[in-house]
């Protein structure tokens, strides 16, 4: 079944050009000129991935992503201006799964879309699954690889697909310290290149969701100069 992609950008030429490339790859494309229109489309259509520009009128990409993350975990690729690293970091902080800088090579964007689709389908988000006992538990932190759910002391925690993959990697290997480079390459499935911020932002978001006090983490620990781990 073809997947539906929502392209959100206030520049018509960019929306149209992205749509042309993605249609050639077999995706169904929906277009929105701002965050408000994007939210309307999400209410009526089954969207599987969003390409979200940051700077837009009415409702910008950052606030639109925050609104979407209140109820949906579908992949979001943030599009930022090449010189605005702060937009990239902010986008990841509010729930974007990946980012690409303008001006970008359309083939790179297509590759990132395919990668996000592949990871998301692997996580089983498009398939209705039945709960079973395929769980990992660490002192009240429970991760279920079948239902893709995470609970802390009985309370369900909503993670994005990339956050779930990072947490699953660490929980499946409790006690082992993972360098940032290895986390990136195993979770994003591509060579590591100057991606410290991407991993660090996702780690910070996970901590904010699973830790009572993120500044004094009980589960997700940093080993300075080495990497991250989940204590046994």
Count of CB atoms situated within 10 Å of the CB of 122 = 11
| DSSP annotation of 223 | E
Q: Does domain 4-122 have CATH number 3.40.50.2300?
A: yes
pLDDT of residue 129: 36
Q: Is the model's pLDDT at 183 over the cut of 50?
A: yes
Given a cut of 60, is residue 39 above it in pLDDT? yes
Output the average pLDDT for the chain. 87
In angstroms, the Cα distances linking 31 to 11, 36, 49 are 11, 12, 12
In this prediction, residue 17 carries a pLDDT of 93
pLDDT value at residue 127: 42
Q: Considering the chain, what percentage of its residues have pLDDT values greater than 90?
A: 53
Strand pairing category for 227-230 and 98-102? unpaired
pLDDT of residue 84: 65
Kindly report the three-state secondary structure assignment for every residue of 142-158.
EEECCCCEEEECCEEEC
Q: Lowest-pLDDT range, 31-45, 47-61, 118-132? A: 118-132
pLDDT value for 89: 82
% helix, strand, coil for the chain, step of 5: 40, 20, 40
Greater confidence, 58 or 118? 58
Domain edges within the chain: 4-122, 135-230
pLDDT digit string, tens, across residues 71-114? 888 899 999 876 667 777 888 888 898 888 888 888 889 988 98
This prediction has a pTM of 0.63
Q: 152-191 burial by CB neighbour count: b if 16+ within 10 A, else e?
A: beeeebebbbbbbbbbbbbbeeeeeebebebbbeebbeee
Q: Which of 17-31, 84-98, 176-190 has the lowest mean pLDDT?
A: 84-98
Q: What's the full length of the chain, in residues?
A: 232
Give the whole-angstrom CA distance, residue 91 versus residue 50: 13
R_g of the chain, CA atoms, integer Å: 18
Each residue of 184-205: pLDDT tens digit?
999 998 888 777 788 999 999 9
Report the CATH number of the 135-230 domain. 1.10.10.10
What is the predicted pLDDT for the residue at 221? 92
Q: Are 4-122 and 135-230 the same fold in CATH?
A: no
Higher local confidence (pLDDT), 75 or 127: 75
């Amino acid at each position: 079944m073809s997947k539906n992609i929502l392209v959100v950008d206030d520049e018509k030429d960019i929306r149209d050009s992205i749509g042309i490339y993605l249609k050639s790859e077999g995706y169904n494309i929906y277009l929105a000129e701002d965050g408000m229109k994007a939210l309307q489309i999400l209410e009526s259509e089954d969207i599987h991935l969003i390409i979200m520009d940051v700077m837009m009128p009415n409702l910008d990409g950052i606030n639109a992503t925050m609104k979407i993350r209140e109820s949906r975990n579908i992949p979001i690729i943030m599009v930022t201006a090449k010189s605005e690293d702060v937009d990239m970091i902010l986008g990841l902080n509010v729930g974007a799964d990946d980012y690409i800088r303008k001006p970008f090579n359309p083939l790179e964007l297509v590759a990132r879309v395919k990668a996000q689709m592949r990871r998301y389908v692997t996580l089983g988000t498009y398939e209705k699954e039945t709960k079973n006992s395929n769980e990992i538990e660490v002192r009240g932190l429970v991760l279920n690889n079948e239902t893709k759910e995470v609970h802390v002391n009985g309370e369900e925690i909503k993670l994005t697909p990339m956050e779930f993959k990072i947490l699953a990697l660490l929980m499946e290997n409790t006690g082992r310290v993972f360098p940032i480079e290895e986390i990136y390459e195993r979770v994003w499935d591509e060579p590591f290149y100057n991606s410290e911020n991407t991993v660090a932002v996702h780690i910070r978001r996970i901590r904010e969701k699973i830790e009572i006090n993120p500044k004094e983490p009980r589960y997700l620990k940093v080993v300075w100069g080495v990497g991250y781990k989940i204590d046994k």
